[in-house]
Structure 1
């Protein structure tokens, strides 16, 4: 049981790190859309926006998965303490 708890805890931490990294990358792509530069075409702006939305959606997915693992970990800790 202890090995399973450690595994769930490691997965929860990993998914949270993935989510934070994806959130940072998505915000940099968003900054690429709002900062004015010479020669930026509509295709570039749309590409940056699409990348930003995809990275932010993946970040939300990773945060949700991390919270699921956290919930499972809390349930197993509760069962283990009984």
Structure 2
């Protein structure tokens, strides 16, 4: 039976991956707001959507980096 620490570590890995997926979806949605034209959109709207999209992509990369780091830590513990 696995210890509580290993279960927590696996749960954290799964959470980071889920956060990354959600942030990637949000970033994609915001990017679409940047490239799809609609009435009443001005330059500031494009800047906000573009900045939010890039910020979301940065946090997505951070989440996957953390998940990768924890996976390596889990492999070290299990070996």
Could you say which TM-score interval applies, normalised by the shorter chain? over 0.9
Structure 1 equivalent of residue 27 of structure 2: 26
* Equivalent residue, structure 2, for 1:11: 12
| Number of residue pairs the alignment of both structures matches | 78
Question: 1:3 & 1:76 partners in 2: Cα distance?
Answer: 13
Give ranges in structure 2 of 5+ residues lacking alignment. none
Unaligned runs of 5+ in 1: none
2:12 and 2:37 map into 1 onto residues whose CA distance is 40
Which contiguous aligned blocks of 4+ residues in structure 1 show a shift greater than 3 angstroms?
none
Alignment pair present for 1:2 and 2:3: yes
